[in-house]
């Protein structure tokens, strides 16, 4: 095993590194001209996700450009709702649109049963990429959290406030729980198949954690993340794979994520780093959390911000450098190079 792999996996195992391992959320994507070139060959984004050779090429793009310490499968969190027959497509400039969203409780009963085989294209991407990728670079597999998947599936699109989703859980709490159970089982089967196909680490994205009040968050999101982590750690095939949970601004105490079944907590931009270190106390490694907007600033600001984060975590056992949320399409790829050099030269 090379230095890089040892570093990333060791950091996930709560071992301090002189230079923190580095990858960035949404590292393959629209800010890269080489991504936009490949993307222009497909009308529907999901058709591109269903072409494993192309996805493999997209995973490799940021690795070749920046030599990141981890690669992430090129896919999307909405593959599961698509496999449930909810009819996901991506409309240019509008984001995801569902032709068959969950509008009423009966829609959950009528929904197609989840069959993990229907996401074969994702496992093929994992297999191809694992073969193509330097064996020393870990490959991250991922899923949306059950709550985040439910929010898109009920809303039928992205939204600022997800009002339809909020009223669904208020008016039909039992049905919402039924749906979340189905999604939890689907996430487990899906992640297990990704692991069988070669992914080395799992990240769960709770991107719409911020929609819920504290008590709602514990009930409708965290409880299902916990169930999913429990299933993963109880299964002989998946139990050894490190897990990362990234949650966007959840309204609960950070200590709620101090879970025996969790290897690493992914800090959103607004997380106070000292507070996080005091709460997690080395029980979980920590990942994050440079504000992606800093990449719009000049190089000096980027370098200073990177130094500050690295010095904050210098004594913490197991830190992985990342952004506090996904990189946005407006970022200049040269600024990412400034970030990468700053992390490694620090």
Q: Which parts of this chain interact with ligand 1CP (CB under 6 A)? A: 26-30, 39, 45, 72, 74-78, 90, 95-96, 142, 158, 205, 207, 326
Query: Is 134 a catalytic site residue?
Result: no
Query: Is 36 a catalytic site residue?
Result: no
Q: 318: burial class by Cβ within 10 Å (0-12, 13-18, 19+)? A: buried
Closer residue to ligand 1CP (CB): 18 or 33: 33
Closest-approach residue to ligand 1CP (CB) = 158
DSSP code at position 97:
E
Exactly one of 6, 30, 273, 344 is catalytic; name it: 30
Query: Smallest gap, in angstroms, from Cβ of residue 122 to ligand 1CP?
Result: 11
Query: Smallest gap, in angstroms, from Cβ of residue 49 to ligand 1CP?
Result: 8
Query: Is 316 a catalytic site residue?
Result: no
Q: Which long-range contacts (CB under 8 A, 24 or more apart) does 55-59 make?
A: 55/121, 55/125, 55/128, 55/129, 56/125, 56/128, 56/129, 56/132, 58/28, 59/28, 59/125, 59/129, 59/133, 59/139
Exactly one of 14, 35, 66, 76 is catalytic; name it: 76
Structure tokens at 110: 């009528």
Query: Smallest gap, in angstroms, from Cβ of residue 101 to ligand 1CP?
Result: 14
Query: Is 224 a catalytic site residue?
Result: no
Query: Smallest gap, in angstroms, from Cβ of residue 240 to ligand 1CP?
Result: 22
Closer residue to ligand 1CP (CB): 16 or 158: 158
Closer residue to ligand 1CP (CB): 118 or 158: 158
Minimal CA–CA distance to 158: which of 226, 76, 218, 214? Answer: 76
User: Which CA distances in Å does 241 have to 66, 153, 215, 222?
Assistant: 25, 28, 30, 20
CA gap 164, 146 in Å, rounded: 17
CB atoms within 10 A of CB 211: 25
Closer residue to ligand 1CP (CB): 74 or 98: 74
Closer residue to ligand 1CP (CB): 7 or 125: 125
Query: Smallest gap, in angstroms, from Cβ of residue 131 to ligand 1CP?
Result: 19
* Residues forming a β-bridge with 72: 140
Query: Is 344 a catalytic site residue?
Result: no
Closer residue to ligand 1CP (CB): 125 or 285: 125
Exactly one of 31, 123, 152, 316 is catalytic; name it: 152
Residue 87 φ then ψ, to 5°:
70, 65
- DSSP per residue over 209-254, as a string? GGGS-HHHIIIIIIHHHHHHHHHHHHSTTTTTS-EEEEESS-SS-G
Query: Smallest gap, in angstroms, from Cβ of residue 78 to ligand 1CP?
Result: 6
Q: Which residues are catalytic?
A: 26, 30, 39, 76, 152
């Amino acid at each position: 095993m090379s230095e890089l792999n040892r570093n990333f996996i060791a950091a996930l195992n709560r071992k301090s590194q002189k230079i923190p391992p580095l990858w960035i959320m949404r590292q393959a994507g629209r800010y890269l001209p080489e991504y936009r070139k490949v993307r222009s060959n497909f009308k529907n984004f999901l058709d591109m996700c269903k072409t494993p050779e192309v996805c493999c090429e997209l995973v490799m793009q940021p690795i070749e450009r920046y030599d990141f310490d981890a690669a992430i499968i090129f896919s999307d969190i909405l593959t599961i709702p698509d496999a449930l027959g909810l009819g996901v497509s991506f409309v240019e400039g509008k984001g995801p649109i569902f032709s068959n969203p969950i509008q009423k409780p009966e829609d959950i009963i009528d929904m197609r049963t989840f069959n993990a085989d229907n996401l074969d294209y994702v496992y093929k991407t994992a297999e191809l990429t694992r073969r193509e990728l330097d064996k020393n670079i870990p490959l991250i597999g991922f899923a949306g959290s059950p709550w985040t998947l439910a929010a898109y599936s009920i809303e039928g699109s992205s939204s600022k406030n997800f009002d339809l989703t909020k009223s669904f859980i208020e008016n039909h709490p039992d049905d919402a729980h039924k749906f979340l159970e189905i999604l939890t089982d689907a996430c487990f089967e899906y992640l297990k198949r990704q692991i069988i196909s070669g992914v080395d680490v799992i990240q769960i994205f709770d991107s719409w954690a911020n929609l819920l009040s504290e008590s709602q968050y514990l009930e409708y999101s965290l409880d299902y993340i916990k169930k999913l982590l429990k299933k993963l750690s109880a299964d002989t095939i998946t139990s050894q794979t490190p897990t990362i949970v990234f949650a966007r601004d959840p309204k609960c105490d950070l200590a709620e994520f101090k879970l025996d079944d969790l290897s690493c907590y992914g800090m959103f931009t607004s997380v106070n780093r000292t507070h996080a270190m005091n709460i997690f106390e080395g029980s979980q490694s920590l990942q994050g959390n440079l504000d992606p907007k800093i990449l719009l600033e000049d190089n000096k600001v980027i370098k200073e911000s990177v130094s500050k984060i690295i010095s904050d975590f210098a004594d913490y056992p197991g830190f992985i450098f990342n952004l506090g949320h996904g990189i946005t399409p407006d970022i200049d790829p040269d600024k990412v190079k400034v970030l990468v050099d700053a992390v490694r030269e620090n």
